[in-house]
Amino acid sequence: MGQTKQLIYTLKRSIKVHCLSYSDLARQLTLSEVSVKRLFAEASFSLDGNFRFGFADE
């Protein structure tokens, strides 16, 4: 599995483990839920220092 696919797989598993929804992520990232789904589907997001999920502090 490529590194990008592995990263996305790991992010999706973490989201599930922490009982978060795409809607929760959208609120935290100030995006629409559709935009968050599109980011994951297209693997088109960048991981600059500003991309943080709610479980990042744990």
Report how many domains make up the chain: 1
Percent of the chain with pLDDT over 70: 74
Q: What is the pTM of this model?
A: 0.67
Range of the domain at 31: 3-42
Structural domain includes residue 57: no
- CA atoms of 33 and 25, how far apart (whole Å): 8
Structural domain includes residue 53: no
- CA atoms of 15 and 19, how far apart (whole Å): 6
Does the structure show a pLDDT above 80 at 30?
yes
Computed over every residue of the chain, the mean pLDDT equals 79
Structural domain includes residue 32: yes
Asked if 51 and 45 count as a contact pair (C-beta separation under 8 A), the reply is yes
Structural domain includes residue 36: yes
List CB contacts of 32: < 8 A, sequence separation 6 or more.
26
Structural domain includes residue 34: yes
- CA atoms of 5 and 7, how far apart (whole Å): 5
Does the structure show a pLDDT above 60 at 49?
no
pLDDT of residue 58: 45
pLDDT of residue 13: 92
